[in-house]
Structure 1
C-alpha cells in the first residue's frame, strides 16, 4: 500500500508544480483560459499540501509494515527454538 501512496503523492506534486508554472506564465492571461492567477497558486498550494500529507502517510505505512514483518519474524524464531 505504501508504494501506491508514493505514486499518488508524486502525481499530486507534479500537478502542483504545473499549477505553479501556469500561474507564472502567460497561459493564465490568454483569452478563454481560466486567468485567475491567485486561483492557480491556491490550487498549487493545496495540491502540494495534499501531496505532503499523503507522502507522510506512505512513510508511516511503510514503517508499520516493516515493524510488523520484523515482529512476525521474531515470533517465528521463538517458535522454532521451542
Structure 2
C-alpha cells in the first residue's frame, strides 16, 4: 500500500507544479482560460499540501509494515529456539 501512496503523492505534486506553472505563464491570462492566476496558484498550493500529506501517510505505512514484518520474524525465531 505504501507504493500506491507514493505514486499518488508524486502525481499530486506533479499536478501542483503544473498548476503553479500555468499561473506564472501567459496561459492563465488568455481570454477564455479557466480562472485567474491566483486560482491556479491556490490550486497548486492545495495539491502540493495534499501530496505532502499523502507522502507522509506512505512513509508511515511503510514503517509500520516493516515493523510488523520484523516482529513476525522475531516471533518465528523465538518459536524455533
> Fold match, TM over 0.5?
yes
1:45-64 equivalences under 5 Å are 45-64=45-64
Q: Which structure has the highest helix share of the two?
A: 1
Shift of 1:35: 4.0
Distance 1:32 1:15 in 2: 21
Q: TM-score, normalised by structure 2?
A: 0.98
Q: Post-superposition, which runs of at least 4 consecutive aligned residues in structure 1 deviate over 6 A?
A: none
Distance 2:25 2:66 in 1: 44
Q: Which residue of 2 aligns with 1:16?
A: 16
Distance 1:23 1:29 in 2: 8
Q: Any unmatched runs of 5+ in structure 2?
A: none
Q: Which residue of 2 aligns with 1:44?
A: 44
Query: What RMSD, in angstroms, separates the aligned Cα atoms of the two structures?
Result: 0.6
What is the DSSP-based 3-state SS (H/G/I as helix, E as strand, rest coil) of the residue aligned with 1:26? coil
Distance 1:29 1:47 in 2: 21
Q: Any unmatched runs of 5+ in structure 1?
A: none
Q: TM-score, normalised by structure 1?
A: 0.97
After the TM superposition, which of the residue ranges 62-71 and 26-35 deviates more from structure 2?
A: 26-35
